[in-house]
């Protein structure tokens, strides 16, 4: 399946008021220093949408997550937590449980995540969804966030239906975050096939050096830029301590960041980076301004334990753009 979409449509980022994410919120297990385990929640699309809601503030936009959480008491707990964060949860009616993941036992570790999501309600939904179900649940968003994790959870048929939905809704900005997780895919070749088919449908592509190296063999930032610059999209390349790169086509800029100390772990940092970039763009900031803000906001997440911002976590205020 080869589709492309012109998603400029004359619409500005500042016109965006309806933002939806498609994917899988998860229960999160956070090991404590005393050997205890705390129940929290996360998952890439949930992390991004909660950060975005916090950054934009109440009433600035309608922010939704399309998923299936199941019908257990843990489903209700997760649903309530998302709703508390002003996220509209739009669900397929599917029984079962939410997926679960556990943070590394040692704070600051870059490996050791554990997952229990094979039988999750969200996976069942995404495996079975057809075009009609996507039309029903996604509605008419102005921005739709999809990640590589979402694509991995789809079946071949549902992935094709999602691509058809995207091709039909060319007035919707598709934001795609690569977010490659090897264990979710049958093979790297399958990941390359789906991601390679979905990227041309996107208006904004977020990726990182590690994913680009694994999937596309990139060994340097110029090689990453060369690949994404051929796509008809704005791009955001995360470089960790080196900052990030933003651009469109051959026009790219590097935005440095200040060194940060990882106090908790790096879980959710990329999700917060993308969310804060989106929030800044929606608020009227140019690409480099938005990237600088995103670097600062992501530093907030690595200064805590867990992928979701804590109840008292404060993101930097968005810069106020003076009227032109």
Instruction: Tell me whether residue 9 is in a domain.
Output: no
Question: By residue range, what is the domain housing residue 162?
Answer: 19-302
Q: Are strands 251-255 and 244-248 parallel, antiparallel or unpaired?
A: antiparallel
**Could you tell me the CA-to-CA distances from 252 to 225, 235, 322 in Å, in that order?**
8, 9, 25
The pLDDT of residue 312: 73
DSSP state for residue 201 in the 8-state scheme: G
pLDDT tens sequence across 104-159: 777 655 567 788 999 999 999 999 999 999 999 999 999 999 999 999 999 999 99
As a whole number, mean pLDDT of residues 169-180 equals 96
For residue 322, how many other CB atoms are within 10 A of its CB?
Answer: 6
Instruction: Tell me whether residue 23 is in a domain.
Output: yes
Q: Are 27 and 39 in contact (CB under 8 A)?
A: yes
As a whole number, mean pLDDT of residues 272-298 equals 93
Backbone angles phi, psi at 73, to 5 degrees: -65, -30
Instruction: Tell me whether residue 1 is in a domain.
Output: no
pLDDT tens sequence across 58-69: 889 999 999 999
Among 250, 311, 301, residue whose Cα is nearest residue 274: 301
- Which of 20-24, 44-48, 310-314 is the least confident region? 310-314
Helical spans, DSSP H, in the chain: 44-56, 73-84, 121-128, 131-138, 148-153, 156-168, 188-198, 209-216, 221-228, 269-282, 287-302
Determine the Cα–Cα distance for residues 3 and 319; give it in Å rounded to an integer.
37
pLDDT mean across residues, the chain: 89
Instruction: Tell me whether residue 282 is in a domain.
Output: yes
Instruction: Tell me whether residue 60 is in a domain.
Output: yes
Confidence of residue 257 (pLDDT cuts 50, 70, 90): confident
pLDDT above 50 for 2: no
pLDDT above 50 for 241: yes
Q: Is 51 exposed, middle or buried (0-12, 13-18, 19+ CB in 10 A)?
A: buried
What CATH number does the domain containing 162 carry? 3.40.1190.20
- Torsion (CA) 93, 26, 296, 227 in degrees, nearest 10: -80
Tell me how many domains the chain contains.
1
Secondary structure of 4-43 in HEC code, one letter for each residue: CCCCCCCCCHHHCCEEEEECCCEEEEEECCCCCEEEEEEC
Instruction: Tell me whether residue 321 is in a domain.
Output: no
Confidence of residue 50 (pLDDT cuts 50, 70, 90): very high
For residue 167, how many other CB atoms are within 10 A of its CB?
Answer: 13
The pLDDT of residue 31: 84
The pLDDT of residue 114: 87
Instruction: Tell me whether residue 251 is in a domain.
Output: yes
pLDDT tens sequence across 74-110: 999 999 999 999 999 999 999 999 999 888 777 655 5
pTM of the model: 0.92
Residues in the chain: 324
Instruction: Tell me whether residue 10 is in a domain.
Output: no
pLDDT tens sequence across 203-217: 999 999 999 999 999
pLDDT above 80 for 232: yes
């Amino acid at each position: 399946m080869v589709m492309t979409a012109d998603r400029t449509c004359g619409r500005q980022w500042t016109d965006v008021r309806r933002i939806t994410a498609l994917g899988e919120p998860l229960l999160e297990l956070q090991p404590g220093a005393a050997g205890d385990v705390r129940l929290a929640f996360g998952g890439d699309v949930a992390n991004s949408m909660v950060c975005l809601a916090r950054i934009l503030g109440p009433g600035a936009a309608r922010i939704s997550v399309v998923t299936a959480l199941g019908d257990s008491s843990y489903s209700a707990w997760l649903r309530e937590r998302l709703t508390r964060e002003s996220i509209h949860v739009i669900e397929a009616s599917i029984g079962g449980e939410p997926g679960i993941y556990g943070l590394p036992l040692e704070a600051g570790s870059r490996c050791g995540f554990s997952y229990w999501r094979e039988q999750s309600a969200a996976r069942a939904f995404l495996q079975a969804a057809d075009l009609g179900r996507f039309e029903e649940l996604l509605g008419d968003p102005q921005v739709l966030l999809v990640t590589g994790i979402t694509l991995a959870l789809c079946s071949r048929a549902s992935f094709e239906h999602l691509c058809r939905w995207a091709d039909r809704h060319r007035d919707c900005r598709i934001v795609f975050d690569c977010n490659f997780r090897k264990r979710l895919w049958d093979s790297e070749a399958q990941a390359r096939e789906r991601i390679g088919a979905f990227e041309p449908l996107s208006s904004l592509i977020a990726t990182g050096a590690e994913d680009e190296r694994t999937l596309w063999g990139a060994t340097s930032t110029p090689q990453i830029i060369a690949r994404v610059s051929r796509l008809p999209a704005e791009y955001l390349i995360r470089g960790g301590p080196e900052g990030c790169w933003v651009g469109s086509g051959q026009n790219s800029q590097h935005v440095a960041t200040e060194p940060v100390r990882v106090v908790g772990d790096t879980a959710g940092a990329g999700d917060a980076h993308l969310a804060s970039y989106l929030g800044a763009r929606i608020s009227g900031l140019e690409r480099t301004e938005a990237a600088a803000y995103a670097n600062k906001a992501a530093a907030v997440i690595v200064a805590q334990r867990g992928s979701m911002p804590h109840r008292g976590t404060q993101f930097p205020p968005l810069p106020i753009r003076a009227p032109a």
